[in-house]
Amino acid sequence: MSENSITLIGNLVADPEYSKATNGSDHLKGRIAVNESYNVGGEWKRRTNYFNFVCWDAIAVNTAVSVKKGDRIVLVGRSQSRKYVDSNGVIQYIHEIVVKDLGVSTRWTPVNPVFNNSLDSEVDDVSVPA
């Protein structure tokens, strides 16, 4: 059995780019920087890897209104490679992550939640502990 699954935690390099695909589907593409530390002969080094990702449909819309450049995110998806012929007739290859789920990481960055109390008439006050 084969499995193509990837989880990345990193920072958005730029604001994600939302658009409509030619078939009318919601589409979003972005880039994430993932840092890793490693030890060479007792000295710690740091390397940054960059990954392109793409979201479709509801995930694209929700991501477009939820995150911005610099946000630390967690994304889960599958790795995909594809090729196309550019305007000069040269074959280009793209490697990207097709996102199944994406959210803001709360490990180091607090978020300001918005609670919808209309879903539960029993709740009068919702507060978040400091």
pLDDT tens readout for residues 63-100: 999 999 999 999 999 999 999 999 999 999 999 999 99
Give the separation between CA 121 and CA 39, rounded to whole angstroms.
Answer: 55
Q: Indicate whether 125 pLDDT > 60.
A: no
Give the separation between CA 64 and CA 60, rounded to whole angstroms.
Answer: 6
Report which of residues 126 and 5 the model is more confident about.
5
Ordered structural domains, the chain, with CATH: 6-119 (2.40.50.140)
CA dihedral 106, 64, 8, 105 (to 10 degrees): 0
The mean pLDDT of 22-30, rounded to a whole number, is 95
The mean pLDDT of 98-109, rounded to a whole number, is 89
Kindly report which listed range (14-23, 33-42, 121-130) carries the lowest average pLDDT score: 121-130
Supply the pTM of this predicted model. 0.77
Helices (H), the chain: 57-66
In whole numbers, what is the pLDDT of the chain averaged over residues? 87
Q: What is the pLDDT of residue 108?
A: 75
Nearest to 47 by CA among 37, 57, 39, 55: 37
